[in-house]
Structure 1
Amino acid sequence: MSDASEHAPETVASAGERSADGTPEAADEQIAFDLSTFPGGARSAIEAVLMVVDEPVTELSLASALELPVEDVVEHLHALEQEYSTQQRGFTLRSVAGGWRVYSRPEFAPVVEKFVLDGQQARLTQASLETLAVIAYRQPVSRARVSAVRGVNVDGVVRTLVSRGLIEEVDDVGESGALLYRTTTYFLQRLGLSSLDELPALAPYLPDVDVIDELIEEGHR
């Protein structure tokens, strides 16, 4: 009669290569789990991951981490979104900047703001907001062009926006050799947008590119 252990499935620890004497060697550390054993199954597992991410996570990333088909993950995400809305929870699930993340519901903004800021307003100045708007609608754009639109030097404001993670330098420089700037994914997150296409239609109110070029040339005379 053979030893039953000869046919027993190997554990994660013993699944690595064996040494010459047959002793299991250390395998790469892996986390093994069965989603069916968790309360709530796969949907609750997805929810647990969403509660700890600090930036939107893609459907593909969730599917890869939990070893689920992407279509199943999408179904669970929409179900959670509907569940939170139906139960009028203090938070909601939103698709933003190409991924999913849990946010507090907009109607609770005054409560959250009071708790987080404790009465201190950490808001952008009017100059920063105007500069950010020009960059958002004209990106990628140089500081000279932004200055031409606003009529003032924006070097300090641009540095502030970069330090806050709202804008970033573009790898490629413009035709004039000047550094170009664009908004970041964090900018989309802060505004609750999935893409720049969702920005309000304010572009028609900004000067045309030709007009900006003329203003820049006049400023250099």
Structure 2
Amino acid sequence: MTDEQRGDSLADQAAAWVPPWDRPRPPAAEDTTTPPDEPAQPPPDSEEPGAGEPQRVEAASEEVGAAAPEQVGSAAPEQVGSAASEQVGSAGPDLGAVTKGTAGESGDAADVPRRQQAGRRRVTAVPEPAPELSDTELRGALEAILLVVDEPVSELVLAQVLEQPAERVGPMLDEIAAGYTAAGHGFELRRAAGGWRLYTRPEYATYVERFVLDGQSVRLTQAALETLAVVAYKQPVTRSRISAIRGVNCDGVIRTLVTRGLIEECGTETDSGAFLYRTTTLFLEKLGLNTVDELPPLAPFLPDDVEELADATR
């Protein structure tokens, strides 16, 4: 056979070749290898997703491999590859959809308790606002607290303890203080050291001292009172400045006042580095003052020749 005749015969074979998937399907022969007790496979057109596609793909592969190797290899490789990939692709998405759907359903079912637990953890109890006290209840609560405090307490602290607005606490304290004064009680409510506290009235101080001291005197010495007065009016002041004003060494007296909590250190002087001293809140509390600005002026107590005395000391 010549090359020309051989080429014509191959061209005729390629033109007459029919793909396996377009060929008429032969009647299915009975499968004698299937055990009698094994259930029969569902037909290819079954409604179950992915049931018949793998068998059709395998059958097409067997037919393509067994039909005509020469025809498949020389005639139309593109047709075989594209058709086989189309059939596998048409079966693949169904299988993937089934697998994905099954996995998604099981994942969602497993995630339900987790989402519920996360939701429970995110839910936080909102504290209920404190009920607003009536004027009578607020007055009684303030009086009860003021009876047990051992130092002046501010309006803000009282408002936080009672869970009431500070705008109500301040006017109520003023009202209580005015009521005690009008009723003539032996005690009064007054502001001292930035807070409020109950104090006995000055006209009954003799009886209170007789009960508390019982004949014992714990008063400060004259030197301690003078030093404390210098600190109160000149604060912040150094030790050397106090000694210069009093004319004597006051180291021992300052240690006594610091020990009793009436004065305290408040830094150092910029030029000399000496310690500075000032009065404490205990000093204000003992004198019944709110700030040091309420101290009486010194002018009425100064001698007439104070300038001459100052020049003499220089």
What's the TM-score bracket when you normalise by the shorter of the two chains? Answer: 0.7 to 0.9
Residues 54-133 of structure 1: matches in 2 within 5 Å?
54-133=150-229
Structure number with greater Rg is 2
Q: Distance in 2 between matches of 1:158 and 1:36?
A: 48
Deviation for aligned residue 1:192: 1.2
The answer to whether 1:46 aligns with 2:142 is yes
The equivalent of 2:233 in structure 1 is: 137
User: Which structure is higher in helix share?
Assistant: 2
Instruction: Kindly indicate whether the alpha-carbon contact (under 8 Å) linking 2:268 and 2:274 is maintained by their aligned counterparts in 1.
Output: no
From the superposition, tell whether residues 158 and 203 of structure 1 become closer, same or farther in structure 2 (CA, over 3 Å). Answer: farther
Deviation for aligned residue 1:171: 2.6
The answer to whether 1:182 aligns with 2:290 is no
Q: Distance in 2 between matches of 1:108 and 1:35?
A: 38
Q: What is the identity percentage for the equivalent residue pairs of Structure 1 and Structure 2?
A: 57
Deviation for aligned residue 1:174: 4.2
From the superposition, tell whether residues 203 and 97 of structure 1 become closer, same or farther in structure 2 (CA, over 3 Å). Answer: farther
Deviation for aligned residue 1:33: 7.6
Q: What TM-score do you get using the length of structure 2 for normalisation?
A: 0.53
Q: Distance in 1 between matches of 2:204 and 2:146?
A: 20
Cα distance per residue 1:46-69 (max 9 Å; x no partner): 111111111111111111111111
The equivalent of 1:156 in structure 2 is: 252
Q: Distance in 2 between matches of 1:203 and 1:135?
A: 17
Q: Distance in 1 between matches of 2:133 and 2:237?
A: 51
Larger RCO: Structure 1 or Structure 2 (Cα < 8 Å, ≥ 6 residues apart)?
1
Deviation for aligned residue 1:173: 3.6
Instruction: Kindly indicate whether the alpha-carbon contact (under 8 Å) linking 1:135 and 1:181 is maintained by their aligned counterparts in 2.
Output: yes
Structure 2: gaps of 5 or more residues: 1-116
Cα distance per residue 1:108-131 (max 9 Å; x no partner): 100111111111121111100111
**Matched letter for residue 178 of structure 2:** Q
Q: Distance in 2 between matches of 1:50 and 1:104?
A: 13
From the superposition, tell whether residues 182 and 165 of structure 1 become closer, same or farther in structure 2 (CA, over 3 Å). Answer: same
Secondary structure of the residue aligned to 2:267 is: coil
Q: 4+ runs of 1 displaced by more than 3 Å?
A: 32-37, 203-208
Instruction: Kindly indicate whether the alpha-carbon contact (under 8 Å) linking 2:263 and 2:279 is maintained by their aligned counterparts in 1.
Output: yes
Q: What TM-score do you get using the length of structure 1 for normalisation?
A: 0.75
Q: Which moved more, 1:165-174 or 1:150-159?
A: 165-174
Instruction: Kindly indicate whether the alpha-carbon contact (under 8 Å) linking 2:130 and 2:163 is maintained by their aligned counterparts in 1.
Output: no
Secondary structure of the residue aligned to 1:93 is: strand
Secondary structure of the residue aligned to 1:180 is: strand
Deviation for aligned residue 1:35: 6.8
What is the count of residue pairs matched by the alignment? 185
